[in-house]
Each structure stands twice: as C-alpha cells, then as structure tokens.
Amino acid sequence: MAFTVRPLDAERWDDLDALFHAKGCSMARGCWCMYYRETAATALRSTDARRSAARDLSSSEPAIGLLAYEADAPVGWVALSPRTQYPRLVRSPVTKAVDEVPVWSLVCFVVPSPQRGRGVARTLLDAAVAYARAQGAPALEAYPVDKEPPGAAAWLWNGAVSTYRKAGFVEVARRRPERPVMRRVFHGWGDDGHAGSDPRPVLLEHLHDEFGAWERLLGGLDDERLHAPRSGAGWSIRDVVGHLTGWQEVTLARLRATTIGGAPVFPAWRGDRSPRSAEALAAANDALHALHRQRPWPTVLAEWRTVGAATVTATARLPAQAVAAIGRFEGLPDHALATVIEASAIHHAGHRETVGRWLASNGGSSRSPCG
C-alpha cells in the first residue's frame, strides 16, 4: 500500500502522539523533537514539558514536521523547519552555518521499529524536499551520522547518508569525520534577478536529480558489476564514473574562473585547449581513462561526489546574469555557463543510459561509451 504524507496541524496531534508512543520510539518520547529548538539555558527538564511545547507548536505555519500514513494509521514522522528555529544547530561547531544561505534544516526521522525497511523514511524525505521547496526555502540541509557499520538504530534518527545522496543531496561541509552536512539546493543564491529569467533553479534541479539517480544506480552494484569490462575498449562502470569526474572537473574550472576572472585552470590531462576534433577528444578521453583506471574504487567514488558537490555549490552561488551571459567569460565566446552546466547533467544522463543498457543486457558494447 502506498504511503501518504501530511503536514502536522492541531487536528493531527493525536496521530503524532500515538506514533511517538509506538514500539521503538522511546528516544522520540524523551525528546519530542524539541532538542534542537533549545539551548543549554532554555532546555526543558522534563518529558512532559517537551511534549507540551511540541503540542503548542503543532498548529504552527509552516508546519514543524510531516506525518506519513498507511491508510489512516501514522507510520512515520520527519521534523524540519527554517534553520533559525533551531538554535542548537546555529551554535554547534559541527552544524554551524556553512554560508549565508537561509536554509531549512531536517533534524529527525521517527519510524516505529515494525515499520522500518518499508520505504517510510525515503517517502518522508521526498515529501520534506517538496514541502521545503513549496515554502520558498532556497535549500534543505540535513546532518546525518556517517559511521561504519551504518546500521545502528541510534544514528538513524538523523537519516542515513545513502538515503540523502539518492535523493540528490550533496555534501557541503564535514567538520568531524563522521558528521557531514548534506544539502539539496532549490533556488539560486547570491542574486536578485527575476525568477523568470534566472536559469539556476532548473539547472540545480537537473544536477541534483542526476547525481541522485547515479547514487541509486551505484548503490545497487557489487564489485563484480562495477569492475567488469563492458565495452570494446575495456571500459567498466567504475571507468565511466572516473570519466565523468574528469569532465566535471573541467566544468568546475569554468565556474570557478567566473568568480575570480581570467581563464579557467583545467586539469593537466585535458590541456589548455578544448579538443575540437574527434581524434583530439578520443586522445583526451584515453588520457583521462589512464589516469583513473588504477585508482581504487572508494577513491574514484569519493572524487566524483566531491566534484559534483562543488559544482552544485558553485552554480548556486553564481549571479543569475553570470550564468545566462553569452561571450562574457574567457574561453566561452559562443556559449553561456548555463549551457556548460546543463551539458554536464546531460553528459551524466547519457552515460547512465549506457550503463543501464550494459546492466540490462548483462554484457557489453562493441564500442567505447564515449563514442
């Protein structure tokens, strides 16, 4: 049966109360999602006081969280609000502001133990993304615990890193080894341009959606399927990811150059000039393939994630006019940055389709995935 998700209001308080009293929710009953709304000086000292404070907030607009239902029964909860409503986040050295973007923050999932493993948290995360976007949030952040092994229930109140990545979130900071700050950007930031002429929202959605689709694809592959040669040139899926990382670095170099002026500094394998001919492009791809093929898979994956996250951040922070202008920047006489960014998303999508065909046929192709 499909789940439905509704914002909390006063009429749904009894559903939240019942959910927090379900099996496996004892930590939630002690906190009532009030911890991040407090400081050391204002902390409520009893469970009853926190429950009462949460009930007082149940009629707030926007809602302080969303409830998931199966039929008429509540099966899950996610707490989110503008970051300014969570003073513990603001003051914490781990979750302090990354930049000036007035983000919303997702702080907690509550799913009773009998309901876990059924997709409730992912349904709630998708709904939280949609709700924050509809409320005009420029971005939604989350603060998961990234530890091995990943299955400890106490860590999952913050959500799983893998779930966020599959929903298109990217890492924008990590102040401690196990505490990434994950963000999903909805709108451009750093400019007052009119929404109708601002290409950044669409570009950011394409990037987030494509990176999320790749995370879902890669998360279902074992080592054999990642490393098996698939093309006539001997390329594997891990080689494709390394290839995407390299060309993403080229895009990122262009974006960074616009913030400081001057020509972009491209990675050494690519050289100073864009490969114009098919032969030059093939040579560049061969150099990139040779660079990445000897690296271990965890390194290749980490580099792809890092460069992708940096591309999202750079795109969000560019002024709208800079993204849309044609011929404004050195090295781009005929194209806008928007075209370059969109081409990056299209490049990822094209290779994802190729990999999908490889997996569907359980075999390979007679040619290189880069044509």
Per-residue model confidence as pLDDT tens digits over 244-272: 999 999 999 888 888 777 778 888 887 66
Tell which residue, 26, 135, 114, 109, has the closest CA to residue 70: 114
Per the DSSP assignment, residues forming a β-bridge with 68 are: 5, 76
Q: Which residue has the tokens 């969280």?
A: 65
360 burial type by CB count under 10 A (0-12 exposed, 13-18 middle, 19+ buried): exposed
Report the SS3 class of residue 139. strand
Domain with CATH 3.40.630.30 in the chain: 3-185
C-alpha separations of 191 from 17, 36, 196, 249 in Å: 43, 30, 13, 25
Residue 194 has pLDDT above 60, yes or no: no
pLDDT of residue 369: 58
* pLDDT (tens digit per residue) in 330-357: 667 677 888 889 999 999 999 999 999 9
Q: Which CATH superfamily is domain 195-361 in?
A: dinb family like domain (1.20.120.450)
Q: What is the pLDDT of residue 230?
A: 83
Arithmetic mean of pLDDT, 1-28: 94
Say which residue, 169 or 233, is predicted with more confidence.
169
- Examine the pLDDT at 368 and tell me if it is beyond 60: no
Q: Check residues 143 and 280 and name the one with the higher pLDDT.
A: 143
CATH 1.20.120.450 positions along the chain are 195-361
Average pLDDT taken over every residue of the chain: 87
Q: What is the mean pLDDT of residues 138-165?
A: 80
The structure tokens listed for 328 are 């404004």
Query: Average of pLDDT values for 37-51?
Result: 89
- Place domain 3-185 in its CATH homologous superfamily: Gcn5-related N-acetyltransferase (GNAT) (3.40.630.30)
Residues 6+ apart with CB under 8 A from 241: 214, 218, 300, 301, 304
Which range has the worst mean pLDDT, 8-12, 97-101, 249-253, 332-336? Answer: 332-336
Q: Among 289, 346, 126, which Cα is nearest to 216's?
A: 126
Evaluate if residue 279 carries a pLDDT over 90: no
Residue with more model confidence, 287 or 304: 304
Is the pLDDT at 197 greater than 70? The verdict is: no
In this model, does residue 123 exceed pLDDT 70?
yes
**Count of other CB atoms within 10 angstroms of residue 134:** 10
Give the tens place of pLDDT for each residue, 127-139.
Answer: 999 999 999 998 9
> 């689709």: which residue's tokens?
213
- Share above pLDDT 70 across residues of the chain, in percent, rounded to a whole number: 89
With cut-offs at 50, 70 and 90, classify the pLDDT of residue 319.
Answer: confident
Cα–Cα distance between 233 and 314 in angstroms, integer? 34
